[in-house]
């Protein structure tokens, strides 16, 4: 089974402890290896230093006593050295002329002389252990050149290094094991809030109104995660509430004209009617059908806008020219109600928006103004621009609204009581305007001094989208 598959089945706490232990093992191994190499080299350098100091002491003593020629009687007093040190005087051919007493308890050590006139440091096998010998040339008056050999065993160093290796290995294993246990406990403690979040999330499956806990004693990343998730779930709940309200309102608004059509037909079919009465009934059915058709068309338009994906990147268009064209299209309707449309604005107003979307915005704003503006009154349309946006303003002298209700005007199917009584409509026009404008990162706003005092709608479209 692959290692990744095995690790994926372990808990986060165990995986954190394993990764922590592995990381610590690698770091300690590198550190201990460097430490061991440093101690190893240091001990051997100390051994070499001791050999040279011993050799220097012997040379000084021999020179102080006039030297010891190879032919002299073997006197070992001058060759006495520190314990563990073996000193010999060798002839030119490697024969032993004098040796320290320590050689008596050791096996024979063959001489390995270097080139004449040179000194050397050699590591050799002596019996069952290894030793290091220092050879120095030594002259005594007119006698042929001889050699001074100083030897020390390396077994004490090897014993120290062997003991050090074991202690270091045990230290690494014990330290890593202890660290993994402590790391596992810390990971379990650190992930305790995750367990609380998981339990709360499970409860939310049966109780969707719940929230994740955010009080863990400290404000850390998990707190931010829980607060972000709670904000997300609250937005989702709000969206679901809006969708439920939308479905209920849509069903109600469609059911009303259908009920009216059915009632009109039932009444008409109860008994024979005159031609005029049939025409009146059909005319009423046609009005209800047109209302239902308009509502379905607005629903499809709104759904199509909200179903779009991706960020729109259209080229800038002349907003002034597009609005002027839409005003011309509704001029006959305005004339039929004796409503005048005053048109003002700058001639150079460009914004990056799809022409069809801009037509939707303007058409619904003008339609809203024409519905609620009394006969003989005036609608004012103005196009201006600021440093960063193109501003479209549509004002009417209609019924207006209370300022505290301005935020609800753009809700789906929202219609004030006055609007319900004075004009037909499904209540989706301003929702479509808001959906289109916000898609282009713009804003829409409504203002009114109060009921029966007219209203003004502002649409701001960014001139540059970053």
Strand partners, 133: 122, 151
Q: How far apart are CA 401 and CA 371, in angstroms?
A: 14
The tokens describing 175, both together, are: 């330290």
Q: How confident is the model at residue 393 (pLDDT cuts 50, 70, 90)?
A: very high
Q: Region 235-262: what's the mean pLDDT? A: 75
Lowest mean per-residue pLDDT among 207-221, 298-312, 404-418, 447-461: 207-221
Q: How confident is the model at residue 75 (pLDDT cuts 50, 70, 90)?
A: very low
> CA distances (Å), 42 to each of 35, 93, 119, 166, in order?
10, 34, 22, 19
Predicted model pTM: 0.53
Q: Which residues contact 435 (CB under 8 A, 6 or more apart)?
A: 302, 305, 306
Strand partners, 124: 131
pLDDT of residue 73: 42
| Statement: residue 404 has pLDDT above 50 | yes
| Statement: residue 421 has pLDDT above 50 | no
Report which of residues 386 and 66 the model is more confident about.
386
> CA distances (Å), 51 to each of 103, 128, 136, 262, in order?
16, 21, 11, 120
| Statement: residue 362 has pLDDT above 80 | yes
Q: Region 380-397: what's the mean pLDDT? A: 88
> CA distances (Å), 111 to each of 70, 88, 259, 277, in order?
16, 10, 124, 141
What are 321-328's contacts with CB under 8 Å, separation 24+?
322/355, 322/358, 322/359, 322/362, 323/358, 323/362, 323/381, 323/383, 323/392, 326/359, 326/362, 326/363, 326/366, 327/366, 327/381
The tens digit of pLDDT for each residue in 295-330 reads: 787 778 877 887 777 777 788 888 888 988 999 999
The tens digit of pLDDT for each residue in 59-74 reads: 887 777 665 444 444 4
Lowest mean per-residue pLDDT among 243-252, 268-277, 369-378: 243-252
């Amino acid at each position: 089974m692959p290692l990744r598959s095995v690790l994926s089945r372990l808990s986060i706490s165990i995986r954190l402890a394993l990764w922590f232990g592995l990381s610590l093992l690698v770091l300690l191994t590198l550190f201990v290896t460097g430490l061991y190499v440093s101690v190893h080299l240091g001990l051997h350098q100390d051994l070499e230093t001791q050999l040279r100091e011993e050799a220097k002491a012997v040379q000084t003593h021999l020179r102080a006593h006039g030297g010891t020629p190879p032919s002299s009687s073997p006197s070992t007093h001058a060759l006495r050295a520190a314990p563990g040190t073996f000193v010999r005087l060798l002839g030119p051919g490697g024969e032993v002329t004098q040796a320290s007493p320590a050689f008596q308890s050791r096996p024979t050590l063959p001489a390995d002389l270097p080139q004449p006139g040179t000194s050397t440091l050699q590591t050799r096998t002596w019996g069952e252990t290894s030793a290091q010998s220092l050879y120095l040339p030594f002259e005594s008056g007119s006698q042929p050149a001889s050699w001074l050999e100083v030897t020390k065993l390396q077994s004490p160093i090897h014993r120290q290094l062997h003991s050090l290796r074991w202690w270091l290995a045990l230290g690494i294993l014990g330290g890593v094991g202890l660290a993994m246990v402590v790391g596992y406990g810390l990971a379990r403690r650190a992930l305790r809030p995750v367990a609380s979040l998981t339990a709360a999330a499970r409860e939310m499956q049966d109780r969707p109104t719940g929230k994740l806990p955010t009080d863990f004693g400290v404000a850390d990343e998990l707190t931010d995660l829980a607060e972000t998730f709670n904000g997300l779930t609250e937005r989702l709940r709000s969206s679901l509430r809006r969708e439920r309200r939308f479905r209920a309102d849509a069903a109600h608004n469609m059911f009303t004209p259908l009920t009216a059509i059915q009632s009109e037909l039932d009444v008409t079919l109860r008994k024979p009617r005159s031609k005029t009465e049939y025409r009146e009934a059909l005319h009423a059915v046609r009005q209800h059908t047109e209302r239902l058709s308009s509502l379905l068309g607005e629903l499809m338009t709104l759904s199509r806008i909200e179903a779009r994906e991706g960020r729109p990147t259209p080229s800038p268009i002349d907003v002034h020219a597009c609005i002027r064209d839409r005003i011309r299209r509704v001029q006959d309707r305005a004339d039929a109600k004796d409503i005048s449309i005053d048109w003002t604005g700058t001639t150079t107003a460009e914004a990056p928006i799809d022409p069809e979307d801009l037509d939707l915005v303007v058409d619904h704003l003008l339609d809203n103004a024409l519905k609620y503006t009394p006969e003989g009154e005036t609608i004012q349309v103005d196009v201006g621009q600021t440093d960063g946006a193109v501003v479209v303003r549509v004002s009417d002298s209609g019924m207006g609204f209370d300022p505290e209700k301005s935020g609800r005007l753009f809700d789906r199917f929202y219609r004030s009581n006055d609007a319900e009584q004075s004009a037909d409509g499904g209540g989706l026009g301003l929702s479509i305007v808001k959906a289109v404008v916000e898609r282009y990162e713009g804003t829409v706003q409504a203002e009114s001094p109060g009921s029966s005092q007219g209203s003004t709608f502002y649409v701001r479209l960014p001139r540059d989208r970053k």
